[in-house]
């Protein structure tokens, strides 16, 4: 893609922070307690979904035996442990964010997670000042990825066209969302997501680095280790 990139939109879980590995263990144990046949392959399909989207998936595909209100309460408890205690910034994340200062780039967090979870994360790690916007599925009626709504809303909030935005995503659902929004999509290999398909990403980076930032801003779309 040759369009000049004016904004970088970062997913939260699995990109900014290493929360996906904690979701896998904590969420996985809880789901097995309520859905005995639950397995790792099922869980891979859920990465990147909003809470409402996950509930719909579990209810329709796995006969989840609870209503949405109880499900929401249970997931809020799981999230408290993950976002307030267990998760950490991805290696090189803050240096990557710092490298964008003075560049004129706009940054946004764009996540299917509830806005409260995003706020908890950016406050805990003191990174809120790097970002112009924080966009959640909450902002678009609970519609999460792979629907493009969160990314289209983020572009609107940033006053940029989607083609001027690059989205960094660690999951197949996130990549589909960004592509459907008409954005440059950067697949993010974090060492924990080898099972996620990234063929639809315009390029792939393996972690955060200054070289990765330069590659995202270039038109080459080359992979960066």
Name residues whose C-beta falls within 8 Å of residue 134's C-beta, 6 or more positions apart in sequence: 108, 109, 115, 118, 119, 122, 128
d(CA 71, CA 151): 26
Diameter over CA atoms, the chain = 52
What pLDDT digit, counting tens, does each position of 205-225 carry?
999 999 999 999 986 454 555
Residue 82 scores a pLDDT above 80: yes
pLDDT at site 80: 92
Decide if 41 is catalytic: no
Q: What does pTM read for this prediction?
A: 0.87
Q: What is the mean pLDDT of residues 4-10?
A: 96
Q: What is the mean pLDDT of residues 12-28?
A: 91
Using omega within 30 degrees of 0 as the cis cutoff, is the peptide bond preceding 62 cis? Answer: no
Q: Two tokens at 188?
A: 């993010």
What pLDDT digit, counting tens, does each position of 182-204 carry?
999 999 999 989 989 999 999 99
d(CA 139, CA 115): 8
| Helix, strand, or coil (residue 169) | strand
Q: Are 2 and 166 in contact (CB under 8 A)?
A: no
Decide if 123 is catalytic: no
Q: Of residues 13, 18, 138, 170, which has the active-site annotation? A: 13
Superfamily of the domain at 7-18+89-217:
HAD superfamily/HAD-like (3.40.50.1000)
Domain residue ranges of the chain, discontinuous segments joined by +: 7-18+89-217, 20-86
């Amino acid at each position: 893609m040759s369009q000049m990139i004016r904004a970088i939109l970062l997913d939260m879980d699995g990109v900014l922070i290493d929360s996906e590995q904690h979701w896998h263990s904590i969420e996985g144990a809880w789901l097995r307690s309520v859905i005995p046949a639950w397995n790792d392959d099922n869980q891979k399909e859920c990465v990147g979904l909003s809470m409402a989207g996950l509930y719909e998936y579990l209810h329709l595909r796995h006969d989840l035996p609870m209503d949405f209100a109880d499900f929401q309460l249970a997931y809020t408890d799981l999230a408290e442990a993950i976002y307030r205690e267990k998760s950490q910034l991805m290696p090189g994340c803050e240096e990557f964010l710092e490298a964008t200062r003075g560049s004129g780039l706009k940054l946004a967090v764009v996540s299917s997670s509830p806005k409260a979870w995003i706020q908890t994360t950016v406050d805990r790690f003191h990174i809120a000042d790097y970002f112009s916007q924080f966009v959640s599925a909450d902002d678009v009626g609970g519609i999460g990825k792979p629907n493009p709504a969160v990314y289209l809303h983020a572009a609107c909030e940033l006053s940029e066209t989607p083609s001027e935005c690059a989205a960094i995503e660690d999951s197949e659902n996130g990549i589909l969302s960004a592509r459907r929004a008409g954005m440059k999509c950067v697949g993010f290999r974090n060492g924990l997501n080898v099972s996620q398909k990234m063929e639809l990403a315009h390029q792939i980076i393996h972690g955060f680095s200054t070289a990765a930032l330069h590659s995202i801003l270039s038109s080459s779309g080359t992979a960066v280790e």
